[in-house]
Amino acid sequence: MNRDSNLFLRLHVDIALVSSVFIVCTIGLILLYSASNGSSEVVFRQLVRMMIGLTAMLSIAQVSPRALLRLSPFIYLVGLILLIAVHFFGDTSGGAARWLDLGIVRFQPAEVMKIAVPLMLAAIIANRPLPPSKRNILLCSLILVIPVFLIYQQPDLGTSLLVGFSGIIVLFLGGVSWRAIRYVSLFSLCAAPLAWISIHSYQRERIRTLFNPENDPLGAGYHIIQSKIAIGSGGLYGKGWLNGTQSHLEFLPERATDFIFAVYCEEFGLVGVLMLMAAYLLVISRGIHVARNAQDTFERLLSASLIITFVTYIIVNVMMVVGLMPVVGVPLPLISYGGTSMVTMMASLGMVMSIHTHRKFYSRD
Amino acid sequence: MEIKNKDSERSIFFFRLNVITALLVAVLVCIVFRVFYLQILNHEHFITRAQENRLKIQPIVPTRGLIYSSDGVLLAGNKPSFSLLVIPEKVNDMEASILRLSRLMQLDTGGVQETLGGLKERTSFRSVILKNQLTEQEVAVFSVNRFRFPGFFIDSSLVRYYPMGSDMAHIVGYVGKMNSRDLSGLDNSNYRGTRFIGKIGVESMQEEVLHGKAGYQKVEVNAEGRVLRVVERKDPTAGSNVHLAVNSMMQRQAFQLLEGFSGAVVMLELESGSLLASASNPSFDPNLFVDGISSSAYKQLINSPGKPLFNRVLQGQYPPGSVVKPLIAIGALESAVETTGSHVYCPGFYRLNDEGRRYHCWSEKGHGKVDLNNAIARSCDVYFYQLAKNIGIDGLKESLLSFGLGSQTGVDLPGEKSGLVPSREWKKSALGKSWYPGETLISGIGQGFMLATPIQLAQAAAILARKGLVTPPRYLDYHQSTDGLKEEFPRQPAGSPRLQLRDAIHWDVVRDAMIDVIHSDFGTARSARLADGIKFAGKTGTAQVSKVNRGSIKQKPMVLRDHALFIGFAPAYKPEIAVAVLVENGGSGSSTAAPIAQKMMDTFFYNEKKVDDITYESR
């Protein structure tokens, strides 16, 4: 290891992770300029958010994993209180109360839970011998179910499922017995019809639309039809930057946020898609590398669950845009226009970075 | 506190992490395949769909062809109609602007607010019509104040109008707003965007010639439908102009002469068959129909006793009365039942047998001893009773049919009625009764069941004038496309091109008798002599409407008075034009119909002379 990397290590900066994040963010800004019809104002605002996110990432990287472990119940409780607060004081937009206005910033407490839940669970599980005991699993389930239910109540099905998923990942990696996993899967299979009844009608509509979007081309199917047209018309090389007709003529809805991947596909084609995947894989592989080289169970569980959640976000967003999943409203990490998601993602990568840069070098890898 | 087994924890963790990684890789591969499926395998399909999204085709309506009279007067034109429109998104304070506007022009502010209130936010870039048919003053006032009303503008579109109004209504017809029924049988793609379509008359019959070929423009639109730019444009081809055979001056004159009467005047140019005048009074203003006639105005037209919508020239069927006498005379001469020299004594009535009922001559005192010439000139009924009896109903029918009565003339406007020439067979099938000899007698003077339209009578006069040569009358002359290409309208083939007589001298015999109607000192239309000594051959007719024939016409209520008729041609020895006049309840042919025919002729020859003089001088 040379002196430079030693310097970065002392600053708790993982050069590989930061530079791969930087590549994805750059692609995101270039794409956003096109998706916002050439609005430099939008790009600038996003740039500011990226800076805030980057600052958050680098700051969190300074906090040692030990400190994170100690802080975890506190972070979880703050997140829970905010979630309850949003239930009572939240701003309603589009029929769902998700936003909390704190005067200076307006953000979605559900996003905080994306970090708080894996952090809390990893802290609990890692404290005891693994695989976790039944009592422990029940405790974890309780800690998991409360925020998931609150987020679902907002209603925000997509985020609640993802938060739930991030918690399950921690339990899975922690070594919950296969038998327990089988029981849970069987139970959820039986509960599926119940869930179908209990979800909102517009959510049911979205799921139905997925299977037959042409049924309702101007209503629920509009998003997915226009998105597929955008992607398909891109072809191998795409129509070129700023030349996507589907996005620039405004046929594609939510093109700067949830459906920005369709804009990318239209303008850069299959070749571009593979390049974006490669950029993401840089971030992901670095994250998995961190998890594999983490030095204790807590660090392993936390870094692995955070990076898997990150991948899950990408997969859910892309599958939704290409028409393999119902439209659930999940942004594309580091690229979609929007502040809270950007900062949360950066913060979780900050934790990953902290885990990697706080290793004690009793053994070189 | 249990003891943690770090090695086992590690190995479980790594195994499970590998499981998840494998799963995620599998999902990523699925996604790549999906994108490959959309972008490569179905690329063509989606690129087409993207184009369909992006490009819209807008029709461009062609300018409708104009209609002109033979003397070059515009009969149907297009005039700009101005509308006030607004683009809501360009107006800052809509209410204040509307208020200021209402000070400048009559504006239904309540209705306007309602229209604007019902608009959707996302289409606020589309213009909305606030007021149609602005007056010239309103256009001027708005134009001066335009700078005060950003977002408001005036748009002009072409609307059909008929400068000659009611004079040409029955011939030219009118256009009206198109409905789905109008479209059947037409090329739909050519009518996309067209608002007006010919409903009756030449406007309807020559719809395809007048309409032209629609153009289009391919525009790029966004998801809201806002037009961003024109990608491709094909200009429309304006409709061809239609030139009629009708002369506007003669038509105007005919209407002037019919002023105060219900009736029809038909004037035919013999050589070409051109209908120089074809007037049916009362008429209506076709301009009322263009923008949709109000139901009250329409009711008024329908219920008017003069039946203004009814074109008497083609559709009015009247007992022709004595005007058929020259035709019957030809038939009688031809069948050798009658010769020019034979005489009949007219005591003022005729009886089939000694005890039978009397068939009266119009002259109570009788005409005394009359020959054929006399019988036509003085219009002796008794002579023609005798003649009818001699040739019989079958002979009568044949001679009248050969002059085109009882069948359509084949004129180039639809809706023509065929009149009626009665016969034994007709009566049997229509009324289920057998023919009576008395009915033959009254058929001989054009009464009874017999019916003819004014255009049939004009054509019969034309056949007499041209000694059997039949030329179907026509309203249409030619049409001319915008690039100057002229094309004659196809002539209707005559039913029988020529009426051949056994002895052509019979034409002259009857013609001379018709000259005597006007020019002898015993003719029924002595007052109808033409200016400049032009010889006029004609025949008056007075068709009974009610059974009661006796007594002064003044004592009869108007609707029971006789119809007045006249047919004729001039100059008698070298005929150029034929005329037929019918005045409903006009009293007598000699007093009402003949003077109208005379004035029509005078006008024609006066104008012709004037034109000749001008050509002479210019030489």
Q: Exposed/middle/buried for B93, CB within 10 Å: 0-12, 13-18, 19+?
A: exposed
Same domain for B394 and B445: yes
The percentage of chain B sitting over the pLDDT mark of 70, rounded to a whole number, equals 93
Give the whole-angstrom CA distance, residue B301 versus residue B285. 10
Give the whole-angstrom CA distance, residue B217 versus residue B233. 4
Q: Is residue B24 part of a domain?
A: no
3-state secondary structure of B506: helix
> Which residues from chain B sit within 8 angstroms of residue A229, using beta carbons?
46, 49-50, 53
Domain ranges of chain A: 12-201+216-357
Angle formed by the axes of helices A157-174 and A297-321, to 10°?
140
> Which residues from chain B sit within 8 angstroms of residue A304, using beta carbons?
13, 17
3-state secondary structure of A123: helix
On average, the pLDDT of chain B sits at: 87
pLDDT for position A362: 53
Q: How far is B90 from chain A (nearest CA, A)?
A: 21
Q: Is residue B5 part of a domain?
A: no
Give the whole-angstrom CA distance, residue B152 versus residue A202. 41
Q: Which of B2-16, B244-258, B270-284 has the lowest mean pLDDT?
A: B2-16
How many of the other CB atoms lie within 10 Å of CB of B170? 28
How many of the other CB atoms lie within 10 Å of CB of B345? 12
pLDDT for position B30: 94
Give the whole-angstrom CA distance, residue A335 versus residue A48. 13
Same domain for B503 and B573: yes
Residue type, B141: V
Q: Is residue B18 part of a domain?
A: no
Q: Which of B172-176, B203-207, B343-347, B505-509 has the lowest mean pLDDT?
A: B343-347
Same domain for B608 and B512: yes
∠ Cα A81 A334 A11 (to 5°): 85
For tokens 């692609």, the residue is A27
Instruction: Please tell me which residue, B505 or B609, carries the higher pLDDT value.
Output: B505
Q: Is residue B345 part of a domain?
A: yes
DSSP letter at B300 equals: H
Q: Is residue B284 part of a domain?
A: yes
Listed in sequence order, the residues at least 6 apart from A338 whose beta carbon sits closer than 8 Å to its beta carbon are: A49, A257, A331
Same domain for B372 and B238: no
pLDDT for position A328: 78
For strand B67-68 and strand B241-244, is the pairing parallel, antiparallel, or unpaired?
Answer: parallel
Same domain for B300 and B265: yes
Q: Which of A273-277, B186-190, B366-370, B551-555 has the lowest mean pLDDT?
A: B551-555
For tokens 């992006």, the residue is B54
> Which residues from chain B sit within 8 angstroms of residue A251, using beta carbons?
53-54, 222-223
Same domain for B145 and B184: no
Helix (H) or strand (E) holding B528: none
Instruction: State yes or no: is B552 an active-site residue.
Output: no
**Average pLDDT of the residues in A155-161:** 82
Q: Is residue B14 part of a domain?
A: no
Distances (CA, A) of A166 to A244, A312, B15: 35, 9, 18
Beta bridge partners of B197: B176
Listed in sequence order, the residues at least 6 apart from B463 whose beta carbon sits closer than 8 Å to its beta carbon are: B403, B404, B469, B470, B499
Alpha helices in B37-104 (DSSP H): 43-54, 94-104
For tokens 């009949």, the residue is B344
Listed in sequence order, the residues at least 6 apart from B420 whose beta carbon sits closer than 8 Å to its beta carbon are: B317, B406, B426, B449, B450, B451, B452
Q: For residue B516, is it left (φ>0), alpha (ψ between -120 and 50) or beta?
A: alpha
SS3 helix, strand, coil % of chain B, rounded to 5?
45, 20, 35
The yes-or-no verdict on residue B416 having pLDDT over 60 is yes
**Average pLDDT of the residues in A166-176:** 90
Q: How far is A236 from chain B (nearest CA, A)?
A: 6
For tokens 């009764």, the residue is B433
Please write the tens of the pLDDT for every residue from A339-360: 888 999 999 999 999 999 988 7
Please say which residue of B214, B244, B274 terminates a domain. B244
Domain of B194, CATH number, reads 3.90.1310.10
The yes-or-no verdict on residue B85 having pLDDT over 90 is no
Please say which residue of B244, B273, B290 terminates a domain. B244
pLDDT for position A363: 47
pTM of the shown model: 0.69
Residue B422 · residue B392 · CB < 8 Å: no
Give the whole-angstrom CA distance, residue B412 versus residue B245. 11
Q: Kindly identify which residue of chain A lies nearest to residue B228, measuring between CA atoms.
A: A249
Same domain for B452 and B305: yes
Distances (CA, A) of A354 to A341, A347, A348, B114: 20, 10, 10, 64
Same domain for B294 and B212: no
pLDDT for position B121: 60
Same domain for B235 and B379: no
Q: Is residue B28 part of a domain?
A: no
Give the whole-angstrom CA distance, residue B313 versus residue B267. 11
Q: Is the peptide bond before A131 cis (omega within 30 degrees of 0)?
A: yes
The yes-or-no verdict on residue B496 having pLDDT over 70 is no
Residues B166, B278, B322, B588: which is the catalytic one? B322
pLDDT for position A152: 85
Q: Is residue B367 part of a domain?
A: yes
> Which residues from chain A sit within 8 angstroms of residue B222, using beta carbons?
249-251
pLDDT for position B1: 46
3-state secondary structure of A215: helix
Residue B223 · residue A245 · CB < 8 Å: no
Instruction: Please tell me which residue, A227 or B116, carries the higher pLDDT value.
Output: A227
Please write the tens of the pLDDT for every residue from A82-113: 888 887 776 665 555 667 766 566 678 888 88
**Average pLDDT of the residues in B60-88:** 90
Of B36, B38, B54, Cβ closest to residue A249 = B54
Domain that holds residue B69: 49-73+172-244
pLDDT for position A217: 63
Q: Which of A92-101, A227-236, B58-67 has the lowest mean pLDDT?
A: A92-101
Is the ipTM of this structure higher than 0.95? Answer: no
Q: How many structural domains compose chain B?
A: 3
Helix (H) or strand (E) holding A29: helix A15-35
A/B interface, count of CB pairs below 8 Å = 125
Domain of B525, CATH number, reads 3.40.710.10
Please say which residue of B184, B212, B244 terminates a domain. B244
Same domain for B276 and B216: no
**Average pLDDT of the residues in B152-178:** 90
pLDDT for position A108: 80
